[in-house]
Amino acid sequence: MESLGLPVIVVDVLFFMAILFICAVGLGALTILILYIIDITQTKHAVRRNFPVLGRGRYWMEHLGVFFRQYFFAMDREEMPFNREQRSYVYRAAKGVDTTLAFGSTRDLRQTGTIMFANSAFPSLREDAVATSEVEIGPYARTPYRTRSLFNVSGMSYGALSGVAIKSLSRGAAAAGAWMNTGEGGLSPFHLEGGCDIVFQIGTAKYGVRDEDGNLSDEKLKELADIERVRMFEIKLSQGAKPGKGGILQGVKVTEEISEIRGIPVGTDSISPNRHKDIKTPQDLLDMVHRIREVTGKPVGFKAVMGGFEWLEEMCEEIHKRGIESAPDFITIDSSDGGTGAAPMSLMDYMGIPIWESLPSTVNLLRGYNLKDRIKVVSSGKLITPADVAWALCMGADFVTSARGFMFSIGCIQALQCNKNTCPTGITTHDKKLQRGLDPEDKWRRAQRYIEHVVYEVGVIAHSCGVREPRELERKHGLIVCSEGRPHPVSDMYPDVEVGSRLRQQAAE
């Protein structure tokens, strides 16, 4: 070798690399042989049995296809559950960058169900505009809740979301003057740390307000009511992605802290009952509303996905028998558009009525029983843009809440890993390494800007329609494209019901 002019050390390195290469080839061949034997002898996967080793590529490509479609192949308005254009709006609004577009809309304005707004020939000028009106919730509670907030953070439990995410959303909501719903997982320190107004949700498992036997505890209700920031209580009957089934939190997400808050063993699946055991009828629901309101002194409402409306009619009739003060202070209407970290496909895809049908129908029913002023309506379910919020206000909602919109605002990339504790953005995982990427000092400002931007642009829509502020929007201001491709006034599709008409009809009968 020295005759070739190569130093001894170079020869040794080349020899060592050759040995490594031979070992790597041998190890690779051994690995392939082992995989070949495993594949050809197993009986669960036909593709792997018929095409050993090579058949494994199918599953790998199938997994990667989810991400390739999102980034390379899906059009801007094609994806589900949220398309790229919707997500991009939230990202831009949350970051405080320009949200204007150029060269015209890419939205298909002929598609059935497309929402539009009827602009006024004489829109409201800046000097005509007024501040968003204040709404009182719970006039018969000892401590009513008064707020101007339009757009709020929907129920997302600590457990489903990481503590860092909850803290970021809480602080952002406080800065923007919005409320935050705890979700059914109970009140955590992260909810309170940001200083926002809190709506405490009582799920079917009654986490955070249950006694040792799992029943509702008046003592724990009083403890929560003593916290000034806890403004209201919400009884969750059902949620959008899985009506008829309780909450699901995989055991891998049940940490010691979550175990203590919920009162369940560490590492075990948290499966809530599919309904409250002590609420079997509309009468039971009103009894529960009354009990919680009496114990806490604060407004109490409920959240439900609308499927049929017979039970709601029965409840309205019972309210008039008992007295107007017996009514729930608000109803949160979720729908089949709702989302969650874990739900059976049979429920997520097929159960419940979409929000564009359930919201106007519920509002009409309440108006017919002359209860709309008494019972405030909160709309939830895939409403993340200013147009979504403005549409809900046109339909009669008093407030709008969003969950996934706020997840996008703090960095969610729709990786669809919410149920696996592997969320790459740290939002829905309790893996500290993944949470490290979520900086609450940056993310709370994004949540704040998102709220403020949505509220501002809802105001822009309202002024373009010729009203002074968003809560003056009515159904006549909305348009919806019908099957023939032409837009029709929403008031034709869902005409307003005359106040008290159901009561007068019953009296006549």
What is the arithmetic mean of pLDDT over 341-356? Answer: 75
Residue 6 has pLDDT above 70, yes or no: no
pLDDT in tens, 22-64: 888 888 888 888 888 988 888 888 888 888 888 888 777 776 7
Give how far the C-alpha of residue 331 lies from the chain's centroid of Cα atoms, to the nearest Å: 16
Q: What's the average model confidence in pLDDT over 376-393? A: 93
Q: Are residues 309 and 449 in the same domain?
A: yes
| 423 and 320, same domain (yes or no) | yes
Q: What share of the chain is helix, strand, coil (3-state, %, to 5)?
A: 45, 10, 45
H/E run at residue 505: helix 501-508
Q: 459 and 348 in one domain?
A: yes
How deeply is 283 buried, as exposed, middle or buried, from its count of CB atoms within 10 A (0-12, 13-18, 19+)? middle
Angle between helices 355-368 and 310-322 (to 10 degrees): 30
Q: Is the pLDDT of residue 79 over 50?
A: yes
Q: Say if residue 290 is in the same domain as residue 198.
A: yes
Q: Do 67 and 176 lie in a common domain?
A: no
Q: Name the average pLDDT for the chain.
A: 86
- Domain count of the chain? 2
Tell me: the pLDDT tens digits for 86-142? 888 888 899 888 887 777 777 777 788 888 899 999 999 888 888 889 999 999 999
Mapping DSSP to helix (H, G, I), strand (E, B) and coil, where does residue 341 land? Answer: coil
DSSP tally for the chain: helices H, then strands E: 18, 15
Q: Is the pLDDT of residue 260 over 80?
A: no
Bridge-partner residues for 303, per DSSP? 236, 332
Considering the domain boundaries, does residue 251 fall inside one?
Answer: yes
Does residue 227 have a pLDDT over 60? Answer: yes
Gyration radius of the chain over CA positions: 27
- Classified as helix, coil or strand, 363 is helix
Domain-located, residue 78: no
Task: Please indicate, yes or no, whether residues 172 and 68 belong to a single structural domain of this protein.
Answer: no
- 211 and 68 inside one domain: no
Distance (Å, whole) CA 264 – CA 267 = 9
Shared domain for 157 and 55, answered yes or no, is no
pLDDT for position 1: 45
What is the pLDDT, as a whole number, of residue 387? 94
Most confident among 93-102, 187-196, 350-359, 486-495 (mean pLDDT): 187-196
User: Is residue 450, in this structure, part of any structural domain at all?
Assistant: yes
**Shared domain check, 322 and 206:** yes
- Percentage of residues of the chain with pLDDT beyond 90: 43
Encoded amino acid at 473, one letter? L
Q: Cα–Cα distance between 276 and 285 in angstroms, integer? A: 10
Q: Residue 22: its pLDDT value, please? A: 87
Q: Is the residue at 191 inside a domain?
A: yes
**Residue 7's domain spans which residues?**
2-73
Within-domain flag for 129 = no
What b-and-e string marks burial along 364-377, b requiring 16 or more CB atoms within 10 Å of the CB?
bbbbbbbbbebbbb
The sign of the torsion formed by the CA atoms of 84, 409, 388, 129 equals: negative
Flag whether 100 is in a domain: no
13 lies in a domain?
Answer: yes
User: Which of 129, 131, 118 shows the shortest CA–CA distance to 463?
Assistant: 129
pLDDT band at 462 (very low <50, low <70, confident <90, very high): very high
| Residue range 144-190, pLDDT digits in tens | 999 999 999 999 888 888 889 999 999 999 999 999 999 988 899 99
CB 198 within 8 A of CB 230: yes
Whether residue 472 sits in one domain with residue 341: yes
SS3 116: strand
- The answer as to whether 433 is a domain residue is yes
Q: 12-16, 76-80, 225-229, 281-285: which has the minimum mean pLDDT?
A: 76-80
Task: Report the Cα–Cα distance between both ends of the chain, in Å, rounded.
Answer: 111
Instruction: Calculate mean pLDDT across residues 316-332.
Output: 97
Domain boundary among 46, 73, 100: 73
Q: Which residue is listed with tokens 């008031």?
A: 491
CA–CA separation, 304 vs 310, rounded Å?
A: 14
Which is nearest to 172 in space by CA: 415, 417, 402, 461? 402
Instruction: Give alpha helix (H) positions in 270-309.
Output: 282-296
User: Could you tell me the CATH number of the domain that includes residue 438?
Assistant: 3.20.20.70
Beta-carbon contacts of 300 under 8 Å, excluding residues fewer than 6 positions away, are 138, 141, 232, 233, 234, 235, 289, 292, 293, 328, 329
Give the residue from 73, 95, 129 where a domain finishes. Answer: 73
> Are 127 and 447 within 8 A, CB to CB?
no
Cβ neighbour number for residue 189 with a 10 Å cutoff: 12
- 13-17, 181-185, 405-409, range with the lowest pLDDT: 13-17
- CA atoms of 219 and 422, how far apart (whole Å): 37
